[in-house]
Amino acid sequence: MVVTIIVFILVFSVVVISHELGHFLIAKLNGIKVLEFAVGMGPSIVKFTKGGTRYVLRLLPIGGACMFEGEDGTYSSDEHEGAFNEANVWARIATVFAGPFFNIILAYLLALIVVGFSGVTIPVIGSLTEGYPAQEAGLQAGDVITRIDGERIYLQGEVTFVSALSRGETIEIEYKRNGERYKTMLTPKFSEEDNRYYIGFTIGEYMECKGIKLVTYSAYEVRYWLKTTIKSLLMLVQGRLSANDLSGPVGIAVTIDETIDEVKPYGLPTVVLTMINFAVLLSVNLGVMNLLPLPALDGGRLLFMLIEVVRGKPVSPEKEGMVHFIGFVCLMILMVFVFYNDLTRIF
């Protein structure tokens, strides 16, 4: 468990630092004064001041903050020099957007490591199951899936994701065989035993990635996690997933622990690569979640700034502050709920 805690802190800290570093660097580039750069929440463990910015490491490694001059209406001096609220609106938009964007950059850099060492699994059909739709639709072993319902497919995981979430709707599959492209329609078949729908094939062929393939397939990996994150959020809104499917820091720590136990027999390099891949997923999730147009999140702040662009003047700071405060309270309530859910799943 000690190893799990250390890995959790490392993974979460790297993702959070990347996010806050995005805010920090773009703020500095735009002349916005950064009062505090903090990693973690709760009481401070280590802190020091340099260049007018206070750097803080806090006890709980589950968040972070980049606080700007004048952001909350208070100022460190009478001159208001470098105040966030007085910067150009596009400078503020760039500063806020930079946090989630840096999470995507981090995810890509980490994906380069994972793909470079372990390659990727491309969507090549291995075998077909007798009596299932894939065989009946004429698909054969060796066919390469290129599109599903018009959406481009590059990785095995994308096909698996579609299959796992299927509710039996007819889908269009485009595939390549001997250099020729074909299309077919099929309807996944329900399995009473597994209580889910199946297309009826095994899929996946290992491919080593070097040079340009490494660059492109690392991007496809990040694209895959972006797609699954966004689609999962849509399914939550549609009611296909429930709030019970959400996981917080405790749930993430448990997942890390289970994953380490699962891959440990394959050696330390495999454990390290698996954790780096987990960091890719976590970084993409943090980036996407922060861009949701909800109060207290980066997306909520961006929404107010875009309203300012349209109106030609900012929303009243008092009104915006109240909205963000209410959003923050709701976010804290959600975090408590998710924390409770994580604990009930464990015990």
pLDDT at 242: 63
pLDDT at 131: 86
User: For residue 39, which of 54, 29, 25, 51 has the smallest C-alpha distance?
Assistant: 54
121-207 domain in CATH 2.40.50.100? no
Let me know: does 301 contact 96? Beta carbons within 8 Å: yes
pLDDT at 99: 95
Give helix 249-263 / helix 317-346 axis angle, nearest 10°. 40
pLDDT at 320: 81
Q: Is 221 a catalytic residue?
A: no
User: For residue 288, which of 68, 19, 12 has the smallest C-alpha distance?
Assistant: 19
Percent helix, strand and coil across the chain, each rounded to 5?
55, 20, 25
User: For residue 236, which of 228, 227, 245 has the smallest C-alpha distance?
Assistant: 245
Domain boundaries, the chain: 2-115+279-346, 121-207
pLDDT at 318: 79
Out of 20, 69, 174, 221, which one is annotated catalytic?
20
pLDDT at 237: 78
Alpha-carbon torsion, ordered 237, 240, 242, 246, to 10 deg: -80
pLDDT at 70: 79
What is the pLDDT tens value at each position of the chain, 347 positions in all?
Answer: 677 788 888 888 899 999 999 999 999 999 999 999 998 888 999 999 998 899 999 988 778 889 998 776 666 666 677 888 889 999 999 999 999 999 999 999 999 999 999 999 999 999 999 889 999 999 999 999 999 999 999 999 999 988 888 888 999 999 999 999 999 999 999 888 888 899 999 999 999 999 999 999 999 999 999 999 998 888 877 777 666 666 666 677 778 888 888 888 888 899 899 999 999 999 999 999 999 988 888 999 999 999 999 998 888 877 887 887 888 788 778 777 777 776 776 66
Other C-beta atoms lying within 10 Å of the C-beta of residue 35:
21
Let me know: does 85 contact 2? Beta carbons within 8 Å: no
pLDDT at 223: 96
pLDDT at 158: 94
Widest CA span in the chain: 77
**Per-residue DSSP letters for 143-187?**
-EEEEETTEE--SHHHHHHHHHT--S--EEEEEEETTEEEEEEE-
Query: Within its chain, how far is the Cα of 45 from the centroid?
Result: 28
